[in-house]
Every structure is written in C-alpha cells, then in structure tokens.
Structure 1
Amino acid sequence: MARTAQRWRAWFVPVAVVLAAAQILLIVLGTHTAFPKLLVWLSATGGVAVAVASFRSGAVLAGGVLLVFWRRLAVAMGFVLVAGLSQTFEVVTTSYTGMPPIGARTLLLYVVGTILAITAMLRLPAGGRSWRQLTTAVLDVAVVAVTAGIAGSQYTGWFVDRFGVSASAWWLNIAMMAIAVAGVVVVVKIMASRGSPVPPVALWWLAPIGLAGPLSTVLMSALSPWPYLNGSAAVLPFVGLFGTLAAHAQHRHLTRSRPRRALTMPLVVSVRGTAVPLVATVVTCVSLVSVFVRTGRLAMVEVAGMTVLLVLVVARQALALAENATLLRTVGQLAMHDDLTGLVNRRHFTAAVAATAGPCTVVLIDLKDFRALNDGLGSDAADALLIAYGRRLTRLAGEESVVARLGGDEFGLLLAEAPAVSVLDRLLAAGTEPLHAAGHEVLVDASIGVADRADDGSADVYRQAEIALREAMTTAGGRLVRYDASLERQLTQQATLAADLRRAMAAGEFQMRYQPIVELPHGRMVAVEALIRWVRPDGQVVSPEHFIPVAEDTGLIVELGEWIIDTVCAQTADWRSRPGAEVLRSVAVNVSARQLLDPGLPQVVADALARYDIPADQLTIEITETAVFGGGRALATVNALAQLGVSISLDDFGTGHSSLGLLRTCPVHAIKIDKSFVDGLGGTPQQEAIVTALVGIADTMGLRTVAEGVETADQAHRLFELGYHHAQGFHFARPLPASAITAMLQGDHQAAA
C-alpha cells in the first residue's frame, strides 16, 4: 500500500481548484473586455487533463473491480479531453459570430466518452439485496427516470426554440441528452448501491458531471454576445474538478482506516436513498411552477409526468418505511443475541428471569481454565469450543428453557422448576464427554452456581445464582454450588472484611514475621521466608488464609504487596549492616497470582532493591504453579523478575497444576516441596516415592530444593538421607519477629538440631 500510494499526487486537487476558479474569473472579465479565444480553453482542457491523471492514479492505488472501474473512467474522461481539444481547434480556426461552432467529430468524441462513463457505472457491483431492496432500487430508477423525462421535455422545447431543428442542432441535442443520461445513471447508482466498493462520497462528486452537457448548451446561448467565451469551455474545468475530487475521495477511503459498524451502515444508506426521491420531487415541482408562472399553462406530458412521479414517490416511501421497520426488528434481534453462538445475551437473559413470575431455577456456568485453552489452542478453536458448548447446553436444557451466553466463557440457563434436577444431572454427566472444536477433542470442566426461586417470586434469583457461582469458582475442587442463606452471610462477612482491610492498611496494623530456612543436617539458618500477619488493635490475629483471598478479590493485594516488598527490603538492608549477616543468603517473599498480572510488579521490585541497595540475588520471589501454569501475562512478569537477577521459587510444588514442563518454561531456581509429601515420610515406600523422585529431578536440573512443614526430628533426618539439604518448619522455628532473626544472626545461627 505504501508503494502504490506514492502514485497519488498531492497537487491534483489544488490545481483542479485553481483552474476552475480561473475559468470563473475569465468569464467575469470576458463580459467586460475582449481577450484571445484560446485563453478560456487552456483552463478547460487543463482541468479535464488533471481528472484523467487522478483517475489513472486512483486505478493504480485500487485493486480488483475498483481498478477496472477507475481505468474505465480514465478512458472515458480521456475521450472528453480529446473532444475538448477538438473543439478548441474548431473555435480557434473558425470565424463565427453568435453561437460557437461544434463539429460532428467533437460531438462524436463527447458521446463516446459519455457512453464509456455510463458503461463503467452500470458494470460497477452494487452488493447483494433482498427483494424489498431490489424493488426499492427499481422505484428509485423510475423516480429519477420520470424526473429526467420531465426535465428533458422542458430542455428539448427550449432547445428547439433556440436552435431550430437542423441536423447539426439535433446532433448537438442528442449529445447533450446522452451526457445528461450519464448524470442520471450516476445518481441511480448512488441510490441503488448498498455494498458498492466505491465510497458514496466519490459517487456524489461524479453525479454533477452529468449536468455538464445541458448546462454547456444553456451557457453557450447565454455567452453568445461574447465570441471569445464558450459554454463548453465554461463547464469543462468543473468536470475536471468534480472528477478529481471523486478520485481524491476514493484515495482517502483506501488509505485511511475507518472501521464501520455493520449495524449502522444500512440505516445511513436507507435514509440517504429515501432523501433522493424527495429531492427529485421538490426539484420537479419548482421547475413546473416556474414554467406555469412563465407561460400560464403546463403541457400534458408535464402534468402526466408529475402525477406518475408522485405515485412512485408514495410507493417508494411506503416501501422504505417497511424496509426500515424490518431493519429495526433485525437490529433489535441482534441487540438481544450473542453474535458468536446465536444464543440470547445477558440483557435478554436477565429480562427473561425478571419476567418469570412463578418458580424457576437459574443456573450460571463458568468454564474452567478457558484462558489456558484459548492460549494453547488458539482463538479459532476457542470460539468453536464456545459454540459447541452452547449447542450442548441447548440440547440438555430443552426447548422450554432459556439458554444464554452471558459473556466470555460464562453461560446461563433459566429452567422451570420440575425439570431442573434432571437437567443439572445431565449437565454434570456431560462434563466427561469431549467436545469437538476445530479438529480438537476437548474436555470442558465448569463451575456451576444454582439458585431456586419459590412460588412467591420475591427472591433476586439471578443475584443468588451469581453468589453461588462465585463460591463454586473459589472453592477448591467445587463444581456445583447451590445457593443458601449461609453464602449470603459469608458474602456479607467478606464485604465487611474488605472494608476492615482497607482501614487496617491505613492504620498500619500489618506486621511481618520471618520463618528460618535451615541447612540440613545441623539446622543452621541460611535464609528466611517473609510472612505477613494482621494484628488488630485488640491483639486479635487475622489469619492470612482469611484476608489474602479478600485482598486478591478487591485488588488491594497489589498495594499490600508493594508494602510487603518495601518492608522486607528495608529489613534486609538492616540485617546486612549487622555482624553475622553473611550467613543469610536469601530473603523470600510470596507473590500472589493477582500480583503477577500487574505489569508494574518488576519495576516495584527493582525500585525497592535500588532504594535499599540490596543485591538482586539476595531476594527470592515465591510463586505458585497455578499462577503461571497458563502462561500469558503472569509468565511474562516472572521472566521480567528473573531478568532483574532475583531468584524464583515454586512454592507448594506438587499440589497445583503440576507439570514438569513448567520447570523448563518458567525461569525457576528452586522448588519447595509441599508439607503433604513431607508428612508421608517414614511410611511405605510408595509414600516416599514422590519426595525421592523430586529431589532427583531437581538435582539433575540444577535446582535447589526446600522441604516445607518439617515438624519432627525424624522427618528432618529422613529428608537428609533422601538428599535434601534445606528445610523449614515448626521443628526448626515458627515465624518470628525481625528482632528474633537479628538475635539469631548475632548468635550461633542455629535454629534446631
């Protein structure tokens, strides 16, 4: 596009405007003073030549049918240019008084150019139309044809009165009528084209060119007292100007990206097509009134034509109203349906729930791990999966139910009370059946929230289903949750906790504790893990298991995480300034999945390290497998953190979306073995198999291993026998205040034996 766009010359439009303005100035001056006849023809032929060049440039820039269309117009305008040059030669070489001469050769060239232009317009595709639109187009053609016929009868009468009925006069008349027909064809094309590749503004610039022929004849008569002026020369610069503006409109259309909404385009076209017959009627009425005022009578053909015109316009407008009504119904239908699956959308679904007076069941469904499926299979397969799942729901729910796609990967069912249980059973059973999506066999698991409304119809059943779905999505292993009052109370408690959480952050009620990570077998501290605690003013401690999920849901975890990183880095700087700090190799900070979605997290860490002058390798960021399993933005954030030089550790390894491939794709430096595996030590060989295998894999890949949740000396001893060199747990130390860690650094660094 960049290469071909250079073919368009920026001077086309300015030169065409200057030539048209110069012609106006010459006509004004010519009525007061004489000058050479050739002068008016320079701007006339120059303007047409600019139009030919602009049409050729438009053809080069376009492609397909547009290229052919603009090339045909360039050839047609080329014949007009040659005709103008021929007429210039006749005027300059012939002596005359009164009407300037126009030979048969010149007339023939004008007629050929006109016929070529009409052919180009007729062969331009107009897009598909319904029968009503086709009928409308036919009526449009009839309206314009009748209007042109009335105008033509008046023009012919004037022409005969002015020029007589000689052979040359009749040839001139035929030529001018042919040119007028070109204008009519262009106008009709504008009205009929709903899907034309040529922009409407370009067609509207072409439309006035059709009036050039009759107008030139009128001007030829009006300017006859001044032989150095000419009607053809007067209109040709404007033929060139309008042609150049049309090509410029096409150029802008192709080089500018202006997305159009599919639903609004037909409305605009319909209004524009409706306006043209009205304009034609007004113009005809004004013309006939002027004739009646001037002559005191109207010819039979004019009266009959006006009658036919009014009938056509009434029929045309009635059809237009019906078409617009159909279009509005279509728009209303589209506004209430999902364009991908064809199911009803959220607006329709909530309206249907509100309109249901009796007992009903609302089921809300969210597809699990859909983002990972979208990233892994691609958007086309993901769309196909949504369509297939929508069809499954429609089949399971039955015809009496309302099935909706509420947005993204969320669906809804509105069921009558009686079949609700059986539908839910079928829905759960169908979860084990794969769906076909763009060549893939995909098993889809879903979180389901269900709410029932009794006979009184008073409950906000949709909101209750949303609460149940939220619980199903946040409860580990939960697939279907049915609403009850306890969920409402729990939601209220969470809202209260969220408000209290904001207050606690402002009041500084959060404290950091640090649990030692020791080296086996002697139990010497080599690192610590930072753990946050919320201590209320009354001394009550709120467990992180309660407030961290709320902080993630509300987004407060981002602000809280920044405070944690800053506090830990400040404490690390304090420890580094004290004796014995060299044994503290690393301080670990937990980062949640929500924080990893924040693209500003790497900068927050970098700023904290720089502010307290902490080496990057002395900070460890602990993440969970689930947070980065799906890749995407979270994995990009982890990579950015690793590039800073901080260590990355996989926390609770083996309990989330475990994948050994994650150790290869994620920049991991250490893995922490979950307490559930440590608890199985000392039992059967099968219970120790995973712990043994993980340390072997980690050693092979050069990763550090830390065993969590060590509570007994026997566990610590067995871990060392299996090859583990680092551990943490209550056996060694509970989470301690920073002052206790400082004391350990200045002591013997021993946590436990």
Structure 2
Amino acid sequence: MARTAPPPRWRPWFTPVAVLLAVVEVALIALGPHLGFHRLLVWIPAVGGVGLAVTAFAATAGGATGPLRLFWRRVAVAMGAVLVGAVSQTVDVALIPFDGMPPLGSRTLLCYVVGTLLAIVAMLRLPGGGRTWRQLTTAVLDLAVVGVTAGVAASEYLGWAVDRFGGRASAWWLNLAMVAIGVAGVTVVVKIMSASRSPAARTALWWLAPIGIAGPMSVILMTLLLPWPHLNGSAAVLAFVGLFGVLAARAQQRVYAGHGAPSSRVAHPAVYRRGAVVPLVATGLTSLLVGTVYLRTGHLTTVQVAGTTLLLLLVVTRQAFALAENATLLETVAHQAMHDELTGLYSRRSFTTAVAGAEGPHTVALLDLKDFRSINDSLGPVAGDALLTEYAARVTRIAGERAVVARLGGDEFGLLLPGTPDETAVTVDRLMAAGDEPLCAAGHEVVVEVSIGLADGADLYRRAEIALREAGSHTDARVVRWDVSLQRQITQRATIAADLRRALTAGEFHMLYQPVVALPHGLMTGVEALIRWTRADGRVISPAAFVPVAEETGLIVELGEWIIDTVCAQAAEWRHRHGPDALDSVAVNVSARQLLDPGLPEMVAAALARHGLPAEQLTVEITETAVFGGGRALASVQALADLGVHIALDDFGTGHSSLGLLRTCPVDVIKVDKSFVDGLNGTPQQEAIAGAIADIADKMGLATVAEGVERPEQARRLFELGYRRAQGFLFARPMSAAAIDELLDPGIGIAA
C-alpha cells in the first residue's frame, strides 16, 4: 500500500524570499530603461514569486482541516493555473518575435482566466456566517456600492483600452480577461464585507484582494513599457501577485500559531464597523475618477453620471440602515451589560444599582451554591451551566415578580426582596425547602445545597456579603442574618488578624503534644503537635479562633513554617536524648492553604535537614477536603511523600469521597474521626462502619488511629474491631514537651 506524502510545511523563509523577488522585479523595471539585458530576465522573479505563492497556499492547506483546508487548496489550484499562465507567457516572449506590444497568446489568457474563475469559486464557497436582517440588507447595499464603483472604473478602463488598442478581437479578449481578474479582486472585498464569521483569517483575505487589480495594471504597464521590449508589464505585476499571496498565507499561519485551532471558525466582531469604511472609500475613489475624467475631457459619459448618482443613493440608503443597526446594537449592548448572558437574570451591576435605589423595607439575600465546583468538575461544564440555568429559574419562580433576582457571578445569586424581615423570611424558607428537590442538569438529577446571607436595614449589600461568608464557613448554619453580634465576631476576627503577626514575632505561640498510644497496653508510640497562643497579658486564644483567621489572611504559611521547624527541632532532641526508637513519629497538622504553597515541600525538607531528623519520623496530617480537588494541593502531598514523610488523613470519613482518596492520595495513616468512636457500643450499624474502616485499612496496608477516645469501653471495643493505635483524653490531654520527656523514660506507659 503506497504511503501518502505528508502535506507541505510552512517555511519561515517564504516571506523574505517573496519580498526579495518583488524588490528584484522593481529594480529590473526601474533600471530597464537605462540598461539592456535579456528579455527573459524579468520573468525569473515573476514566475518564482507565483510559484512560491502556490507552495505557501499548499502549506497552509496542509495545516488546516475542514472548510479552511478546502479553501486554501482551491486557492492553491487557482494560483497554480496562474503559474501555468505565467510560464506560458514566458514561453511566448522567448519564442515569438514581436515589435511593440509583447505577445499574449490565447493559451496564456485561458490559463489566467481559469485561475481567476477558480479563485472566485473558492471565495464564494468560503463559509461566511449568519447575520441579522439589517446586517444582511447592509451587506447587500455594500455589494451594490462596490459593484457600481467597479462598473464605473471598468467602463473607464474599457474606454481607454479601445482608444489604445482599437477594436481588434484579440484586444477585446485581452481586456475582458483583465476585467475578469478585476472582478476576482472585487469578489474578495465583497466576501470580506459580507462575512461575519469565517474560517479564514480576515487579514489573509485582505492580502488577497489587491491581486484583483493585477490584470488591468499589467495592461497599463505594458503600454508604458512599449519602448523597451526587454521589459514587460505582466512580469512586473506577477512578482507582486506572488508576494501578496505569500503574505496572505503568512497571515493565516499566524492565526494557527495564536489559536492552535486552524479548523475553527474565526469570529469577526468588527466586521460591521470595518465594512462601513469600504463604501466611503468606494465613493471617494469614484469621485476622484469622475473628477479626473471631467478635468481631462470636459464632459462625462452617461455611464459615469448614472453610476455616480446611483452610488450616492446607495451610500445614503446604506448609512440609514447602518444607523438603525447601530441603535439595535446599542440596545443589545446595554441589555448585555445589565443582564447575565447565561441565565438572563440581572447582572451584579444592575443588582447593586437596584439595592442602592431601594426605598422602604427591603431584604437582600445572597445565595451561594455549595459544592458547585465539584459538580461542575464531575459532570462537566455543560451540566454545570444547565444547573445554574435551572436554579436561576427556580429562584425567580419562588422570589416572585416584585423581587429583583440577579446572578452575581459564578455560582452566587442575589435577591432584593421587598417587605419586612418577617415577610421576606417566608421566601427564604421556601428557598431552603426547595433545596431538597433535585434539579435536572443536562440529563442528571442534582440536589444542591445553598448558603444564604441575609441583611435588612442600611448598608444591605455589604452586610449580606458578611452574612454569606459566615454561612459558608459553617457546615451547621446554612442561613445567616446579619446582626450586631455578627459584626462583633467580624471585629474580633479583624483584631486577631492584626495581632497574629505581632504574636509570632513576640514568641507568644508554643507547642503542646498529645500522645498517641498502642492498644491495649497504652504505651506511647507517637505524639501529635498542637499549637497554642497565650498573649502577653495571659489571655489564651483558642486555636478555633485564630487558625481560621490565619488561613484567611495567609499568615498560616509563615506560622506553619515556624510550627514545622519547632516540631522538627523538638523531635530531633527527643531522638538524641531517648534514642531513635523512642517515638515512631511526631505528627503535625498542615492546612489546605499551606498545601497550596509550592514552597512547602522544600521548606519541610530544609527543616528536616537542619535538625537532622529522618523524614520517616515526621507525619504530616491533612484533611480530606484539602486534597479533594487535586491540583496543587495533591502535588504538594505527593512531593512530601517522596521525601519519605508519612502522610496521615485526619478526620477520616467526614470529608469528600474518602475511599477514592485512599487510591489517589499517598496515605500511610488513617485517623478515624471522633464521631465514629462516639458511636461505638451503640447501634450495630455504627459499629459496622468503624469495623469496616479498620478492615479496609488493614487490607490496604494502612495504619489506623482512633481519635477522641474518652472511655475505657471505647478503647476495648476499638481493639476488638482491629484498631491498634488510639488518641484521646482517656490516655492523655495535650501536654508540654517536658511532660512528654518524662513519659519517654523506659517502662513508663499510659494506662488505658
């Protein structure tokens, strides 16, 4: 089976060579009246330029697909016919003696005309995209304007040609061929003006347009160059035909490089605006042509007068439609600026304006869809968009006609509800109740939970945003209404945020360590490091108060670095003092924000090396939620595991897709959440879950630690279910490093 040859590739030297050939041609034509050389010399850059354009078109077609590939293939074939015509004309010049007008045989004219017709077919078959009826009408008027302008110019050209060559049949065939080539140029311009969307680059089409004047220009140059038989007008223009062709191909290649999708349809949003310039240019050129003719002859022909009059009427009509279309476009733009494109609801700008201008009692409700990102990732963006659209329809239906409903961005919606807080509470209750009903999203039944922030009175939007953030940060509070106590909490968090950096610099943080023991004998095998903050005035700040603030402000990264360095130093000291086997591991918690820091693995490696602590004696505890989305966080965990650090999944069973994480995340230890421990000795179902976790971990070769053990019967039952490590107040509360030192003495255990 024969192998198909690979498509020609675009070469960077195409453009400079085409420019060089055109420059050489200009130099030969300019020096020809002063220097004598062989008559075929001017044809070398001419034929070379056209041949280079054929190669460039073929290379461009080879890099495209679909309608775009067909277009460039057709243009390459059309230019190939022109190349054959150029070679044929070169042969005529070389073999046929002539005195005066250079020979231009019927074979050569046929090749040029065939090439022109093929180019016109290629342009007409290029998809152009749809438009509104006004835009279509405007495009038709544009076509008429260009057609009338071309007709006036063609009549003047034919008049000049008849005066110059007389009525000979060969002269008429020549001029008809040249007019056909000019029509090709007009077709390109028309296609550019009428296409709102096209697979071909707009700049490439504009580079093809000047090729249409090559025919008439060649005839004009032929007459000017008659005194010098070794010069030729066709050769002069053919070099530029090749140059413009290469530049058109280069413009298309730049679109390939910029978008990486050569088969995609390229939108031209500025088509209408740019197309408006063409009728004005056409009118200006026609006026210049008619004025020149009148100054030269003292009169105008009927065609010129009628054409100019018709042209002016067309331009006036066209501009009237353009003004009407502009008004429609302005209305569309104004609507788009005030409405969300996907759902049709009001936009954030409209919503804030409505809130600012609201009179009388109103309530602002801000809604955020929980876990929308995971739904969008798992079901795909099409389903995500469908879900937003369906939820927008639900909210609009429940809110009623008097409410202002907006999509504020992403998965956040806003409602401006008229009425007192008691009246609007009914609508909020209906929104919450509707959350239990599934929504259809691209064939999927999806139940979505929402967080709602409410505010009434003054400063509605800002207060509702505060309430929404508070609702989103607590799993047990789906609706939060702004009040003075909430403002106090915000102020308190702001105060903590301001004190955090000062506290870190002043050394107000210290570490406590809670033992992890082996069941059933209660010997300590490891510890978990826990941070504490005692201010200079003796007031203790709970980790539940300052850790979330540290994460919000980003200070958790700097604080976490201090924690890891302190823990590594302490673990190395215990190792040196009590031996390498005194503790299996020292665990330290790492937050989701820290995992997003690309420098975390390097920082941990540096701390281990600085204090001489083996990596396997450090355990990093992460939550399921922190790595559920994968990406940067999961990459950080993998990098830590590659260092040899153990990875523990904390609060197991309370986050997202726990069993799936055991396959994708490099976990060594599962820390079973206290809620499962509390359920022991209760219903059989609760114990079955705890036992299943231990069984799964055992089969996967993972260690398990039961957290929150507070009663002896819990410890005994955990051991029966297969747990060999436990942690909780039954064994020890968090204690200082010095207290851990005492427990590390040989023979000392913690009674269970």
| TM-score for the superposition, normalised by structure 2 | 0.90
Deviates more, 1:177-186 or 1:330-339: 330-339
Q: Which residue of 2 aligns with 1:491?
A: 490
1:181 CA drift (Å): 2.0
Q: Deviations over 1:399-446 (max 9, x none)?
A: 332222222222222222276233222211111111222332222111
Q: Which residue of 2 aligns with 1:608?
A: 607
Contact 1:514 1:741 in 2 (8 A): yes
Alignment of 1:46-195 (within 5 A): 46-195=48-197
CA distance in 1, matches of 2:324, 2:80: 44
SS at match of 1:582: coil
1:748 CA drift (Å): 5.0
Give the counterpart letter for 1:443 in structure 2.
V
SS at match of 2:744: helix
Q: Which residue of 2 aligns with 1:210?
A: 212
Identity %: 66
CA distance in 2, matches of 1:616, 1:548: 26
CA distance in 1, matches of 2:211, 2:472: 67
Q: Which residue of 1 aligns with 2:340?
A: 338
Contact 1:372 1:631 in 2 (8 A): no
CA pair 85-415 structure 1, distance change in 2 beyond 3 A: same
CA pair 521-142 structure 1, distance change in 2 beyond 3 A: closer
1:437 aligns with 2:447: no
1:712 CA drift (Å): 6.1
CA distance in 1, matches of 2:218, 2:135: 36
SS at match of 1:33: coil
Q: Which residue of 1 aligns with 2:251?
A: 249
Q: Which residue of 2 aligns with 1:577?
A: 576
1:428 aligns with 2:432: yes
CA distance in 1, matches of 2:668, 2:64: 56
Instruction: Name which of 17, 20, 27 aligns with 1:18.
Output: 20
Contact 2:342 2:385 in 1 (8 A): yes
Alignment of 1:284-683 (within 5 A): 284-417=286-419, 420-453=424-457, 459-520=458-519, 522-579=521-578, 582-628=581-627, 633-653=632-652, 659=658, 663=662, 666-675=665-674
CA distance in 1, matches of 2:608, 2:256: 52
CA distance in 2, matches of 1:694, 1:79: 77
SS at match of 1:98: coil
CA pair 525-93 structure 1, distance change in 2 beyond 3 A: closer
CA pair 733-114 structure 1, distance change in 2 beyond 3 A: closer
Give the counterpart letter for 1:426 in structure 2.
R
Give the counterpart letter for 2:410 in structure 1.
G
1:571 CA drift (Å): 0.9
Give the counterpart letter for 2:252 in structure 1.
Q
CA distance in 2, matches of 1:687, 1:43: 88
SS at match of 2:37: coil
Give the counterpart letter for 2:428 in structure 1.
L
1:32 aligns with 2:34: yes
SS at match of 1:124: coil
CA distance in 2, matches of 1:469, 1:655: 23
Q: Deviations over 1:374-413 (max 9, x none)?
A: 3443443333322222222122223332222222222222
SS at match of 1:472: helix
CA pair 74-520 structure 1, distance change in 2 beyond 3 A: closer
1:147 CA drift (Å): 1.4
Contact 1:580 1:745 in 2 (8 A): no
CA distance in 2, matches of 1:343, 1:723: 56
Deviates more, 1:146-155 or 1:537-546: 146-155
Instruction: Name which of 221, 224, 228 aligns with 1:222.
Output: 224
Q: Which residue of 2 aligns with 1:456?
A: none
Contact 2:8 2:59 in 1 (8 A): no
Q: Which consecutive unaligned segments of at least 5 residues does structure 1 have?
A: 454-458
SS at match of 2:577: coil
CA pair 471-233 structure 1, distance change in 2 beyond 3 A: closer
CA distance in 2, matches of 1:89, 1:729: 100
Contact 1:267 1:324 in 2 (8 A): no
SS at match of 2:405: strand
CA distance in 2, matches of 1:657, 1:228: 84
Give the counterpart letter for 1:46 in structure 2.
G
CA distance in 2, matches of 1:190, 1:558: 56
CA pair 631-93 structure 1, distance change in 2 beyond 3 A: closer
Q: Deviations over 1:542-573 (max 9, x none)?
A: 11121112112222222211111110001111
Deviates more, 1:728-737 or 1:528-537: 728-737
CA pair 230-651 structure 1, distance change in 2 beyond 3 A: closer
Q: Deviations over 1:202-221 (max 9, x none)?
A: 22222122212222222222
Deviates more, 1:295-304 or 1:701-710: 701-710
Give the counterpart letter for 2:32 in structure 1.
G
1:706 CA drift (Å): 3.9
Give the counterpart letter for 1:745 in structure 2.
L
Give the counterpart letter for 2:608 in structure 1.
L
| TM-score for the superposition, normalised by structure 1 | 0.90
Contact 1:270 1:324 in 2 (8 A): no
CA distance in 1, matches of 2:399, 2:690: 47
1:740 CA drift (Å): 2.7
CA pair 197-752 structure 1, distance change in 2 beyond 3 A: closer
CA distance in 2, matches of 1:490, 1:200: 58
CA pair 576-289 structure 1, distance change in 2 beyond 3 A: same
Give the aligned CA root-mean-square deviation in angstroms.
3.2
CA distance in 2, matches of 1:107, 1:295: 32
Give the counterpart letter for 1:644 in structure 2.
L
CA pair 263-416 structure 1, distance change in 2 beyond 3 A: farther
